[in-house]
Structures are given as structure tokens and as C-alpha cells.
A and B are shown apart, each in its own frame.
Chain A
């Protein structure tokens, strides 16, 4: 995924300014920043929902506005209250249809994913009876349904209990081992530090830091939380 000098403004208000990011195959990048820093707008541009005002975004070698490129992207929004009258299996069947998958493939994939995200026992319960964390897991399942090469997740830890977070981290690591690229926004610095290869920190629509996480670990003094605070207070590269 390559984002080159991308800017996006809404009615004269700049949401993202001259953003440049690069993410290689099989990497996990955490996308950090305070509320209103431009994270969600960037994510919407990556999945083709919003067009950049200027600059260029290339995802998996193509334009994310192109359906063929979106067919290789999995996206999970921060919190979506999925159709309350469906159960999890029907939800995945619906999204599978939208991805153009045939019924047999969807059924097989849905069974596998519901097992993976720990919803197999609740698969026939209507989604209106699900907790926030269960809805989040259903969201992860729908994002993985088309076996995407790039996974874009908006605040994936929201609503997950500690056990579900551990399972989620394990799942993301397994996906990385399979060569999947993962890009997620988060306010959870601890989880980000444990999971990511690189982080990008946004402030006022600009990336004020982009670099590896591993060199921060074990330092004792300079963990991600400290880096985050330093970068945001200085507003420049750390």
C-alpha cells in the first residue's frame, strides 16, 4: 500500500494534508493519533470511500475505487450495529453475496470464520442479542470473508474483553504469517506496541512519525506511550 502526498479537505477544512505512508506485504501497521487527527478519513481513502483532493493512493497495485481492488481488501469499521434481524451466519452469507462468492464457498468460509472468531456457538442467535464485543467479532469475520490481501481495521480492539484481545492478536499474527498486510487505527497504545511492526502517528492531518515499533520495545524508558506523547507535544518527527 502506498500513499503519496495525499491531501483531503472538506469544504475548505483540511482533514489530511500531504500524507505519505508505505506499507509492505506481510506487515502490520498501527495508525495512531488523537481524535480528529485524520485517521478515519485516511482509512476511508484507502478503502475507496473517499477520493483524495490531491496525491495518489495505490493499494495492491491499483486504485481502491476500482471494485477489483476492493475485492482484495477486508474492512472493519469501528463499531457497526449490523442488521439486528440477521444471525451471524446470515450476515456472513449476505456479505459473501456482495463479494460475489457462491453459496457453497460462503457457507464453508462462514463456518470456518465463526469458529475462528469464537462465535460458532452463537451463530444462530439474532445479532440484536449480541454484546458489543460479539458484534466486533462478527465485524472481524465479515472483513476476513473474502480472504483479503489487505486488512483495514478501524479501532479493532473496541469492545473486546481481555481474552478476545489475546485471540485477536494471535489471529492477526497468523494472518501476517500468511502474508496478509494489516493496517489498523487504534487508541490502544499497549495493544499496538504488542502487535505492530510499524506505527504512524497523525496530528492535525499530517503524519508526524512513521517508524518501526520493535526498537522501542524493552527500552524501559522509550515505549510507544512515551513516543506518542513526545511526538504529539513536539508536533514533529521523533
Chain B
């Protein structure tokens, strides 16, 4: 058990180092700073309710950045190991493929979560600058967003073992973005069209990653309050289950993969 913990710790540390030493995440943090701070200090058109639009813009920015970071991190867990041939010394060490997958996944989630935490701190800071207050709903929104990151990393990780890195990024980003914007409208659309298109839409709804479950933006912007405990637990359970299915799939592929 001690050996397994040390192995996982080493892999998590590696993911952190990779994410924070690559300049693209730092660039995103600087970009977020450059966009969010001036916005929070401005009062567009002197409108009293403009604060809501600024919150909406900031949260949409955070969602876009978190999608970019979690997909990028998840998709980069294995392909560079194959290309640079470091997979050989890695697998020659006394580590099982399951532990390798678990360590890499946890590392990617933890590293992406650290970047997400910085974005939320910026958001809260900007909100406070405009005279807003810190609410528990923001914390709930952050936890939901973390669950989304865990799901997105698992999806990209599973995809990285099946298709090429560019195809994986394209497919994962398309699926997640489409569900984010249109997920909640799919059942209505399925009712409005005839078979067999309606079957396909229902299948997409059943299999697709329901990113919209984790989206608390409207609640935060309009002050509608948080979701109740049962819904909160159900959404987290959905994220765990979806990520779990992706990881089991990835493990089955990795276990059989020839190097």
C-alpha cells in the first residue's frame, strides 16, 4: 500500500510540474487577469445591473479556460509518453498499468483543479471589488465545476488511448461544448422530430456527457440560490459514474495495449 501511495504521489507531482511549467496555463491566468480585472472596475454605460453581465462574461471565460485546460491535460497524459518512448522505462518499473492510469488521472484532475481554483479566486476577487459578497453558491458552483473537470479529464484520457491526439481533442471538445450549450434542449428537440432522427437524438442524450448538470452560472448571476442537497449529491454521483466508466474503458485499452 505504501508503495502504491508513493507511485501515485510521484505521478500526481509530475502532472503538476507539467501543467505549471508549460506556459500556456500561465498565459491563460494572465489573460483572465487582463480581462476580468478591468471589467470588474468598469461600469458599462453607467447601468446599475451591469454587474450581472460582467459576472456572466467572467464565468463563461472560466468555463472556456477550464475546458481548454482539462481537455489538454487529459489528452496529454499518454500520447507524449508513447512519442518520446518514456512509456518503456515507466512500465518497466514495478508499477501496474492500473496504478499508472489512476496516478496519471488523479494528477491531471488535481493539476487542472489548481488552475480552476485560481480562476475562481479571481472571479470572487473581482466580484468583491464591485461591492458583491461571497456566497455559498459560489462554493457549490466551484465544486460542480471540479466535477466537470474530473469528467472532462476522464473523457479525454479515454479518447487519447483510442484515437489520435488531434481527433481526440476535436471530438471531446465538440461533445462537451455541444452538451454545454444544447444538452438541456435535446429532449424537446427529440420530441419535435420524427424517427429515426429522434432515436439518434435520444441516444446522444443518453450517452453524452451532461455538462449542463454542472453549470451554475444562471444561479450565480441572478442570485437564485444553490441547488438542494439531493440534487447536489446526484450531480456529483453522475460525474463519478461517468468518469468511472471512461476510466474503466481506458484501463481495458491500456491493459491490452502492445508497446
Residues of A within 8 A of B (CB): 10, 44, 47-50, 67-68, 70-71, 73, 75-83, 85-86, 90, 93-102, 139, 142-143, 146, 152
Map CB proximity to A onto B1-31 as digits: 1 under 8 Å, 0 otherwise: 0110011011101100110011000000000
Task: Kindly provide the distance from the CB of A90 to the nearest chain B CB, expressed in whole angstroms.
Answer: 7
Considering the complex, which residues of chain B in the window 77-115 have a beta carbon less than 8 Å from any beta carbon of chain A? 84-86, 88-96
Q: Is the CB of B88 within 8 A of A80?
A: yes
B45 at the interface (CB under 8 A from A): no
Contacts A49-B88, A80-B85, A82-B86 supplied; 13 other A-B pairs, CB < 8 Å = A47-B92, A49-B91, A67-B94, A67-B95, A77-B85, A77-B89, A78-B85, A80-B88, A81-B85, A83-B86, A90-B17, A100-B2, A100-B94
Q: Can you report 9 A-B residue pairs in the complex whose CB atoms are below 8 A from each other?
A: A50-B258, A70-B93, A77-B88, A81-B84, A83-B17, A97-B10, A97-B11, A98-B94, A99-B94
- Chain B positions within 8 Å of A94 at CB level: 10, 13-14
Q: Is the CB of A73 within 8 A of B92?
A: yes
B259 at the interface (CB under 8 A from A): yes
- Complex: A99 Cα to B9 Cα, angstroms: 12
In order of increasing CB-CB distance, the 10 nearest A-B pairs are A97-B10, A100-B3, A75-B92, A71-B94, A81-B84, A67-B94, A85-B21, A98-B93, A77-B88, A80-B85
- Chain B positions within 8 Å of A70 at CB level: 92-94
Task: Kindly provide the distance from the CB of A150 to the nearest chain B CB, expressed in whole angstroms.
Answer: 11
CB within 8 Å for A10 and B6 given contacts A67-B95, A70-B92: no
- Chain A positions within 8 Å of B11 at CB level: 97-98
Closest to A90 in B: B17
Closest to A93 in B: B10
- Complex: A142 Cα to B89 Cα, angstroms: 8
Question: Which of B6, B17, B18, B92 has the largest count of A CB atoms less than 10 A from its CB?
Answer: B92
Q: Is the CB of A76 within 8 A of B84?
A: no
Chain B interface residue bracket vs A: 20 to 34
Task: Kindly provide the distance from the CB of B74 to the nearest chain A CB, expressed in whole angstroms.
Answer: 17
Q: Is the CB of A97 within 8 A of B13?
A: yes
- Chain A positions within 8 Å of B91 at CB level: 47-49
- Complex: A75 Cα to B66 Cα, angstroms: 38
Closest to A40 in B: B88
Closest to A101 in B: B6
- Complex: A139 Cα to B85 Cα, angstroms: 12
Q: Is the CB of B18 within 8 A of A98?
A: no
- Complex: A82 Cα to B91 Cα, angstroms: 14
Task: Kindly provide the distance from the CB of A106 to the nearest chain B CB, expressed in whole angstroms.
Answer: 9
Q: Is the CB of B17 within 8 A of A85?
A: yes
- Complex: A95 Cα to B3 Cα, angstroms: 12
CB within 8 Å for A49 and B92 given contacts A90-B17, A97-B13: yes
Task: Kindly provide the distance from the CB of B103 to the nearest chain A CB, expressed in whole angstroms.
Answer: 9
- Chain B positions within 8 Å of A152 at CB level: 92
CB within 8 Å for A95 and B84 given contacts A50-B259, A100-B7: no
Q: Is the CB of B17 within 8 A of A95?
A: no
- Complex: A63 Cα to B82 Cα, angstroms: 25
Closest to B85 in A: A80
- Complex: A183 Cα to B2 Cα, angstroms: 31
- Chain B positions within 8 Å of A102 at CB level: 6
CB within 8 Å for A48 and B86 given contacts A10-B258, A83-B14: no
Task: Kindly provide the distance from the CB of A78 to the nearest chain B CB, expressed in whole angstroms.
Answer: 8
Task: Kindly provide the distance from the CB of B70 to the nearest chain A CB, expressed in whole angstroms.
Answer: 19
Q: Is the CB of B22 within 8 A of A85?
A: yes
- Complex: A85 Cα to B2 Cα, angstroms: 27
Q: Is the CB of A83 within 8 A of B259?
A: no
- Chain B positions within 8 Å of A99 at CB level: 93-94
Q: Is the CB of B6 within 8 A of A100?
A: yes
Q: Is the CB of B18 within 8 A of A83?
A: yes
- Chain A positions within 8 Å of B18 at CB level: 83, 85
- Complex: A82 Cα to B17 Cα, angstroms: 14
